[in-house]
Structure 1
Amino acid sequence: MQKATPESQDELRIIGKKYYGRWISAFIVLLILLAVANSVINNPRFEWKVIAENLTEASILQGVLMTLQLTVISVVLGFAGGTVLALMRLSSNPVLSAVSWGYTWFFRGVPMLVQLFLWYNVAALYPKITLSLPFVGELWSANANSLISPFSAAVIALVMHQSAYAAEIVRAGIQSVSQGQLEAARALGYRPAQIFRHTVLPQAMRAILPPAGNEVIGQLKTTAVVSVIALQDVLYSAQIIYQRTYEVIPLLLVATIWYLAMTSVLSVGQFYVERYFGRGTVRKEKRAWIKRKTPALAVNKERIGNNG
């Protein structure tokens, strides 16, 4: 067996490319970030002491709980309704498909703030809400003003708004599953419910989760619009305080910090959920990435082995 000579080893030596532009651009960006951080920390107008005092104030914490409550309710009910709408849209029944399309068209086309005001003032259109059946008569009735409170109006508006967007996300995920997978499942004797559970859903989740995670984060921020109907979320709690103390900027920064904290937690959760559903694909992508990044190393190892 022939051993590798010093001359052959010198020929196989790899010299890395020097990326001077990368280091220069990174240095410039770091200087800009340091300048911004220094300006923010040393600017007395930010009033960091006021921010620290109000960050855990009782009304602010109550607003955080209200924001989380609205987000959870609207996301859970919104995606449940969106899944139903997506299945209706994919149905061969033209009536169901048309109704789903019309619902999505309307609630995606009307701004969230307008929807909120409409539900909050629904008593102007229907002062009394009744439930009745033909030949039976009235079963139940209630005054719209007492039934539609600010909280219920916010929940209805957020759920209907969310379900319209969730329907398109779920529909796109279901359609991302190839027809061949469905035909193979039918050939194995799977029933429609089993096909959806074992074939469609696991693969569709990989396409659904990234936009769904973004939608959840966006919905958390959308809940800030409920402050216009005096529902005490984070923003409205901050507004109540600065209307009394006139410390507008520090209280808005308190709300900003809480929104950033909540969205950061949701982002971490999204990362782990996506990694769980894409665990097979992620490993394949990592192996492909390593092969792309180290082609010369693989060739050189092969040459050394042949010379050895």
Structure 2
Amino acid sequence: MEGDVQKEKIPGHTKQDALAARSKSLEQQGNVLSSAKVYLSGPMDFVASRTEEKRTGWRTRVGQFMREYGTEVRDPWNKPVVVGMPHYGKEDEFSTNKRYTWTYEDSEQGDRIRSDLCGEFWATLHTDLRMVDTSDFLIAYCPTNIYSVGTVHEIVMARLQNKPVLFVSPPVSFPSLDRLEAHLESASDGEGQRLLTALANEAPLRPNPSGIPSMWYMALLDGHYFFDGFGFAAYAERFGWEPNALDEREEAFPPKRPLLPYLEKLNRSIPKRYDPEQDAYVENADWLIFGGSDTE
């Protein structure tokens, strides 16, 4: 009809066209991760040893790996200094041990203690979430046997901003538990077997040999972002990593989809994602890596 505005599709100007041009440009340029900022999310409070986790844990290795590509690594074990408040949000054994003063005493004194602790740890939450906010993507390590709250918060915050979250859910097994169970059975120790069963239920000790993530994470993340390990063995000699429990787990359960080789490919080009509605691989709009100002 007269007066109607005819909307024409301009060739080469769809979102997928723009993303394809982005991917082609980055592939030609290379070193995609050299301008990126990554936050390393995962359990901290309830790991077996905070000291060992900080010294030789997965964050230490992945951080070393990422820095080789020029990536800026945001590690909650090593928080950046807040200008004017050098100790703000820092975590150490002294600060975390303060939580043992927590009380449910129903009195003014109890209210004061709880209020002080909530205020004390607010600074840590504030700092970690700011690091998430200013990162381009997250790497999250989420074994199903370790309780973690901050990790969920960080992942949800990142996905609300459409940031990629590369999610590692490793196989979980308890070989010592299996050996103890076999030992008690061979010794015909009925009472020991009963206590062991009770302990496994109380803990709870739930094997997850396939590394299947929580269904909530399945709904929250894109299927392209899930990995069942890191693939440390292929890089151990290059980085001088001493063998530890991470390697024992990956030796027992070799990753089918390891993260580190994926990151190597990501440094060369932005990978496409599978779109179930189109039944095809399409450009991934989640990857927005900020460089310098366009006025520079």
What TM-score do the two structures reach when normalised by structure 2?
Answer: 0.24
What TM-score do the two structures reach when normalised by structure 1?
Answer: 0.24
If each structure's helix is expressed as a fraction of its own residues, which one has the higher value? 1
If each structure's strand is expressed as a fraction of its own residues, which one has the higher value? 2
